[in-house]
A and B are shown apart, each in its own frame.
Chain A
């Protein structure tokens, strides 16, 4: 009995010790779809955030303290995103890098705004995210009105006079991107032959594919995520269709090629100029490679979001989210993606989208690499 009490005492003491150790740290968080269909992107974000925290701590941390990373999983579900956000807000976490899906980032941002949390999304591209005049939001990626424009310009140039169809998955991101692309495409003088939506999570697209076949569609633009886009592509090839598939930035993970197999060849998507090729990213890309991680897609964007916040905190000398956000918008920051400045809404000033193409071996590359 006595020994049991002793163990209890020891346990209590160790618990107290560990909480005091934690109190020395600054807790920050990364949130995204760690599970579910979009988990490939959650993994990108987690990899980026973990590496950034490790590097920042190795360089002495911030304000003399170390950073401690927490991970939130929203499974790309708006309700779950909201509850993750409330959890972080009540834990008084000053900064969250997240979320991935626009339909998660937007409801979460309101909970963060109420709970005094600064939110920088590495990946949510829906314009609405920064258009609601919330004080606490910023993003290090582009916006779908710009992305749609680049996609539409490409289509209007390369597929002039051909048949184009636009599909979307009814999510904030997918529908938003499809609408912006359609708008820009119509402005460029092209009318799509078909505009349809499907349900995210559907597996059977054979019926839509047969419609594409009937209408002799040459290019189908999909506003949606890679799971469904991959299945559409697979079922197109099964039905003997050679139609080219084009989509947005939610295709920049190699998992897409593992869904489609060699059918991925020729598939197009838009995304920022390959972050891995930036001269500022070279040293960090090496670190990832050494760990056998390919820092593709939004990995380095998440890293950059962490850097922006840390540097602003160091400049302000406090983690107070309101002061830090003012500093972020006022300054210009050296990140792994190069110099980054923000406008009053929280969007980055220089946005650049390029078109990528998948090859038969399961890799993708910019069509006209510009470098940067």
Chain B
């Protein structure tokens, strides 16, 4: 039981990071109807910006960790959001009324551009940082000496995810911007006739998605202690899978999908073989899609007349 609890913690933390990235995929799909393949790389850029701003702050002699983390978080979100906005502006907006595949191809191209750009700008090496947050709590000590540990980094990752998820759910459900986003999701032409600035709303969607990816990038840096130019690819694929599993277009679905992928991977390697964890995760995705083609929380696509 203790062992299961520990593995549950491992899976939930991993799933939170996947979920944060998956939200970016799902929001863009919901509104523009395209899959933003460059999103994984936006996540990677977020990780790098977090690393750079962290190193700059430390070189200024700042040592109080909570302040550092807060500044790094804000800087990473801001600059990565700018990247998200720019990518949409130059690579997707000009193609919005083109044929359906054009923005997708442009997204794949953008993904290559971002990967190679950071390889050239930051070097092709893995960049490690020594542990920033250490320590943790012992939750339970079993009779057989098995100790269930919750580390401080894990607490930070989970709390940040919950807070941000709550914040963005509120944003979509209760604010003017959220209402515009939902209007664009239903019918862009009608929304613009009713005075919604469609371009601005779509831009904001990319900005929010990128900001969340930056948070995920920073959590990744804190949790694993390294970033490299290629990390966006695998993380992006996993998060995209999570978004599809949860029902692409659905915000809670993305989070649920992320948590599920994290849990399946972890529990599979906990009780079966570590080698086949990805096989397990993707097999379950296939089974779910056969029986629920729109994913767990997705709505069936209604043909718009």
Q: B234 CB to closest chain A CB, in angstroms?
A: 7
- What 0/1 pattern do residues 263 to 302 of B give for CB contact below 8 A with A? 0011101100111011000000000000000000000000
Question: In the complex, are the beta carbons of A37 and B275 less than 8 A apart?
Answer: no
Question: In the complex, are the beta carbons of B136 and A238 less than 8 A apart?
Answer: yes
Q: Look across to chain B and name the residue whose beta carbon is closest to the beta carbon of A204.
A: B14
Question: In the complex, are the beta carbons of B274 and A198 less than 8 A apart?
Answer: yes
A216 to B265, CA, bound (A): 22
Known: A213-B146, A238-B151, A259-B225. A207 touches B274 (CB 8 A): yes
Question: In the complex, are the beta carbons of B145 and A208 less than 8 A apart?
Answer: no
A231 to B130, CA, bound (A): 11
Complex interface: chain A residues within 8 A of B13 (CB): 206
Q: A193 CB to closest chain B CB, in angstroms?
A: 15
Known: A204-B224, A207-B274. A255 touches B7 (CB 8 A): no
Question: In the complex, are the beta carbons of A207 and B265 less than 8 A apart?
Answer: yes
Determine if A338 is an interface residue (Cβ-Cβ < 8 Å).
no
Question: In the complex, are the beta carbons of B265 and A255 less than 8 A apart?
Answer: no
A37 to B138, CA, bound (A): 33
Range of interface residues on A (Cβ < 8 Å): 35 or more
Complex interface: chain B residues within 8 A of A240 (CB): 136, 138, 147, 149
Question: In the complex, are the beta carbons of A35 and B131 less than 8 A apart?
Answer: no
Complex interface: chain A residues within 8 A of B118 (CB): none
Question: In the complex, are the beta carbons of A211 and B270 less than 8 A apart?
Answer: yes
A176 to B266, CA, bound (A): 26
Question: In the complex, are the beta carbons of B126 and A227 less than 8 A apart?
Answer: yes
Cβ contact of B274, chosen from A197, A214, A227, cutoff 8 A:
A197
Complex interface: chain A residues within 8 A of B278 (CB): 199
Determine if B226 is an interface residue (Cβ-Cβ < 8 Å).
yes
Known: A240-B149, A258-B128, A263-B131. A207 touches B270 (CB 8 A): yes
Question: In the complex, are the beta carbons of B224 and A35 less than 8 A apart?
Answer: no
Determine if A201 is an interface residue (Cβ-Cβ < 8 Å).
yes
Q: B242 CB to closest chain A CB, in angstroms?
A: 14
Cβ contact of A199, chosen from B136, B224, B275, cutoff 8 A:
B275
For window 255-269 of chain A, which residues contact chain B by CB distance below 8 Å? 255, 258-263
Question: In the complex, are the beta carbons of B147 and A213 less than 8 A apart?
Answer: yes
Question: In the complex, are the beta carbons of B269 and A208 less than 8 A apart?
Answer: yes
Known: A35-B125, A198-B275, A210-B270. A238 touches B153 (CB 8 A): yes
Complex interface: chain B residues within 8 A of A198 (CB): 274-275
- What 0/1 pattern do residues 297 to 314 of A give for CB contact below 8 A with B? 000000000000000000
Q: B267 CB to closest chain A CB, in angstroms?
A: 8
Which of A207, A213, A214, A239: most chain B CB closer than 10 A? A207
Q: B153 CB to closest chain A CB, in angstroms?
A: 7
Complex interface: chain B residues within 8 A of A213 (CB): 3, 6, 146-147
A62 to B130, CA, bound (A): 45
Determine if A70 is an interface residue (Cβ-Cβ < 8 Å).
no
A210 to B126, CA, bound (A): 26
Which of B119, B124, B146, B234: most chain A CB closer than 10 A? B124
Question: In the complex, are the beta carbons of A261 and B131 less than 8 A apart?
Answer: yes
New A-B contacts (20) at CB < 8 Å, excluding given A35-B119, A240-B149? A35-B123, A37-B126, A39-B125, A203-B220, A204-B224, A206-B10, A207-B11, A207-B269, A211-B269, A211-B270, A213-B3, A213-B6, A216-B145, A230-B128, A231-B224, A231-B226, A234-B224, A234-B225, A238-B154, A263-B131
Query: Which residues from chain A sit less than 8 Å from chain B, CB to CB?
Result: 34-37, 39-40, 75, 170, 196-199, 201, 203-204, 206-208, 210-211, 213-214, 216, 227, 230-231, 234, 238-240, 255, 258-263
Q: List 30 A-B contacts (CB under 8 A).
A: A35-B124, A37-B126, A39-B124, A197-B274, A204-B14, A206-B10, A206-B13, A206-B14, A207-B7, A207-B266, A207-B270, A207-B277, A208-B269, A210-B6, A210-B7, A211-B270, A214-B3, A216-B145, A227-B126, A231-B226, A234-B131, A239-B6, A239-B151, A240-B138, A240-B149, A255-B128, A258-B130, A259-B225, A261-B130, A261-B131
